[in-house]
Copies of this chain bind each other. A is one copy, B any other.
Amino acid sequence: MPKVPPVLLDQQLCFSIYSASKKFNHFYQSALAPFGLTYPQYIAMLVLWEDAPLTVHQLGEHLELDSGTLTPLLKRLEKQGWVSRVRSQTDERQVLIHLTEMATAKREEVYARIGQCQNLLGMTDKEIDDTMAELATVKSQLDTVSRQRLITKNIDSHQ
């Protein structure tokens, strides 16, 4: 006889978010196809358009990605002409990511494209803000739990 209620996939917030994330990925992949950008490449470009040049580490802080993901991603962006990767003169450990002229030239075009795509979502600014606020709460809780390592230290009584 079950001591705990069943865990139903369709009632899981995690799956709801996981699924939405994949759909957004697909959505932007299609929308950005004319530019040949994947979704992760696109968000990297967003950060760089705001703030280039940035080191790999700085870019990673914005995107919450490490060099294991970023190094190959940036090499692909470089190959396709969006960025250049330049070893810093003042600190040889760092690699500075610069925008190319092409990237600067296409910035407005991509912004316009994304604006149109967002209109297709048919959500008001308030709806978007509210959803993001709730997600911020969830993420904050997840961060807290991870930071406190409650999971691996305190609950592992059955191990």
A13–B132 touching, CB < 8 Å: yes
Q: Looking at chain A, what size class is its interface with the partner chain?
A: 35 or more
B151–A117 touching, CB < 8 Å: yes
Main secondary structure of the interface of A (DSSP, over half): helix
A146–B46 touching, CB < 8 Å: no
The one of B4, B26, B132, B136 in contact with A108, judged by C-beta atoms closer than 8 angstroms, is B4
> Known contacts A13-B132, A30-B146, A123-B138; can you find 15 more A-B pairs with CB under 8 A?
A3-B112, A4-B112, A4-B115, A7-B46, A9-B46, A9-B47, A14-B24, A14-B39, A15-B43, A18-B24, A18-B25, A34-B159, A116-B155, A121-B141, A134-B134
